[in-house]
Structure 1
Amino acid sequence: MARFLALAAGLAASFLSMQAMAADPVGSYGAVDDVCADARVHSTIQKRFRYQVTHVPNLPNVDIVDFYGSYQTRYSPSSYDSPIERRYCRATARLSDGRDRTIWYLIEYGQGFAGLGNNVEFCVSGFDRWNLYDGHCRVLR
């Protein structure tokens, strides 16, 4: 009987420490931190921009040296119809030639290589020579 009471007490303690889960969660909740200003996201954009200006003909040979004014413009939570959570962001990028350019970027959660990590797509105003993101980076706005 003592073992049964100890087992029952152990089970009760474990159930009390569990977080309650709603059967019908209402609404979508996003992260509270500012992902758009994350240094890892900016570093990924800088590396890919460097690759872009060296491999696309007739682009000026510049680098992104700084980002400022990063903010989120749109949020698309994951849902049944669209299981990928997306954040659309805008910032100003300072280039190595001293000019400031608007940059639009998208962070897709869980879409990194082999589903690990996040994917970042970006478009710097005036540098989408092949209109990959439509005119004036419209797709990422």
Structure 2
Amino acid sequence: MIRTAKLSFLSLSAICTTLLVQPVAQAADMFVYDVQNAPTICNAAPVLNRITRNFAYQVRHVPNLPQVAIADFNHIHLRRSEATSQRWPIARHYCSAKVTLSNGYEHDIAYLIEEGQGFAAMGGANVEFCVSGFDRWLVYNAGCRVLK
């Protein structure tokens, strides 16, 4: 029994070491920004790339969504920004824009960027987004209100 436990511990140790050594996020997803430059956060390439990639995944895996892709972002602006505080230690930036899809139609998009929420809270950000008309299960409420 001791031998089995020892092998299990060694196997677990090897798996954890492998996971820690492997890159968790692509270099394009890792970005650091200054709160003083909040308006440029909304149009940062890593943010827009992540939204584009995750939207492509969403339309492939959610039933009855049109098979389209984001072709372009327009009218990008910061709606509001919440700095870190003792009550909420995560800085948040609420952005909105218009996206042109591959079918030529334009839709509103709302997205949230949370600072320091990458892997192990280091070097990245969490990005949540909602494209109007594509929130089939109303995760972000009707009209993407949660992210506005």
Please confirm whether the aligned pair reaches a TM-score higher than 0.5, indicating the same fold: yes
Q: What do residues 89-141 of structure 1 show as CA deviations (whole Å, max 9, x unaligned)?
A: 00010000000000000000001222121010000000000000011100000
Partner of 2:26: none
Give aligned pairs, total. 113
1:131 to 127, 134, 138: 138
Partner of 2:37: 32
Partner of 1:46: 52
Higher helix share: 2
TM superposition score normalised by structure 1: 0.77
Runs of 5+ consecutive residues of structure 2 not aligned to the other structure? 1-33
SS in 2 for 1:79: coil
Give the RMSD, CA atoms, in angstroms.
1.2
Larger Rg: 1
Runs of 5+ consecutive residues of structure 1 not aligned to the other structure? 1-28
SS in 1 for 2:72: strand
Q: What do residues 3-32 of structure 1 show as CA deviations (whole Å, max 9, x unaligned)?
A: xxxxxxxxxxxxxxxxxxxxxxxxxx9322
Identity, % of aligned positions: 50
TM superposition score normalised by structure 2: 0.74
Partner of 1:121: 128
Partner of 1:90: 96
